Amino acid sequence: MKTAAAVITLLPFLTLGNGQSSVSFLEPNCGISISGSRNSKTRVVGGQVADMFGNPWMAFIQSSIFCGGSLITIRYVLTAAHCRSNSPAVVYLGEFDRSTNIDCSSRGCLPNAVGIHVDAQLGHPSYTDFGHHNDIALFRLARPVQYTDYIKPICVLTNYDPLPLIRSFTATGWGETAFSRGSNRLLTATLSHVDRSYCSIYGRVDSSQICVAGYDSHVCRGDSGGPLFAMVNIKGVHRVVQAGVVSFGHQNCRHVSVFTNVVPYVNWIVDVVRRGGAQLYPQVPRPNRYWYFSG
């Protein structure tokens, strides 16, 4: 995740209008951190270091490549299909600084991160590297994780599309910065929702994808699979709702980027979660030429 200038950024925030009483979630206890609604007012100078306590759904995926992801239930992490590999994978939850065992700030310390092996890497059945469409996957944890104040799921809305209301997003990840191959600390970027025509430089981008642009910060290699989200006021409760998954962008990480839109895949996500991932999909080889943001 690259940052160009020091500015003050605010977490995107919106309030659902009509129909919010009927909004349902994949996991009811979702999208609330111990930072609470302060997330909507947390100021991060430079748009760099994320709130240590504000992203309990963030997952670090370690395999032959490394990616980000988001915890969506006690057993599943949502990520990008191109983050799959033929190597064993471990998901780390409750992580902030990968270089330390215990992460502390003036507000307190995080417990040790929890590492859980992945026993199934489930890519969408229509995924293909050529065109980058359907770039979404579910990684099934070998055992259920126990929710704590520091490990919680992000919200996935199952019957409501918030995307038309969102003009600004937040993305988080441990990807490349302007100064290093990968960040030890979790970083954050504020990104703008722009028309898909801006992403036509990569070929066809359709409604299953989201085109975003950053003024002072961008996603980059190592950020793949991480969440694109906004804070939403639902019935008076401020919840973080996932809208997208980091997919691909330009090699220099300074142009518009493409995220997989979560909404068109909600039925598939719900089906896999309910069935326990019984149907496994074959690994798709990756081509030599790609602009993916995996590490």
Q: Is residue 36 part of a domain?
A: yes
Q: Is residue 50 part of a domain?
A: yes
Q: Is residue 181 part of a domain?
A: yes
Matching residue, tokens 């065992």: 101
Q: Is residue 289 part of a domain?
A: no
Give me 250's structure tokens: 């330009």
Q: What is the pLDDT of residue 36?
A: 63
pTM exceeds cut of 0.75 = yes
Q: Is residue 293 part of a domain?
A: no
Number of H helices, E strands in the chain: 1, 19
Q: Name the domain count of the chain.
A: 1
Phi then psi for residue 271, to 5 deg, are -65, -45
Residue-wise pLDDT for 183-240, tens only, equals 788 988 889 899 999 988 888 889 999 999 876 655 776 688 999 999 998 888 999 9
Residue-wise pLDDT for 89-141, tens only, equals 999 999 988 777 777 887 888 889 999 999 999 999 999 877 689 999 999 99
d(CA 155, CA 240): 6
Residue-wise pLDDT for 21-68, tens only, equals 578 999 999 999 988 644 433 332 234 788 889 999 999 999 998 899
3-state class of 190 per DSSP?
Answer: strand
Q: What is the pLDDT of residue 288?
A: 31
pLDDT of 2 strictly over 90: no
14: confidence class by pLDDT, cuts 50, 70, 90: low
Percentage, residues of the chain above pLDDT 70:
77
Nearest partner of 40 among 15, 69, 19, 23, judged by Cα: 15
Q: Is residue 55 part of a domain?
A: yes
Catalytic residues, by residue number, are 82, 135, 224
Average pLDDT, the chain: 81
Give every CB contact of residue 275 below 8 A, 6+ residues apart in sequence.
none
Q: Is residue 182 part of a domain?
A: yes
150: domain CATH number is 2.40.10.10
Q: Is residue 224 part of a domain?
A: yes
Residue-wise pLDDT for 260-270, tens only, equals 999 999 999 99
Cβ contact 255:248 at 8 Å: no
Q: Containing domain of residue 28, as a range?
A: 2-275
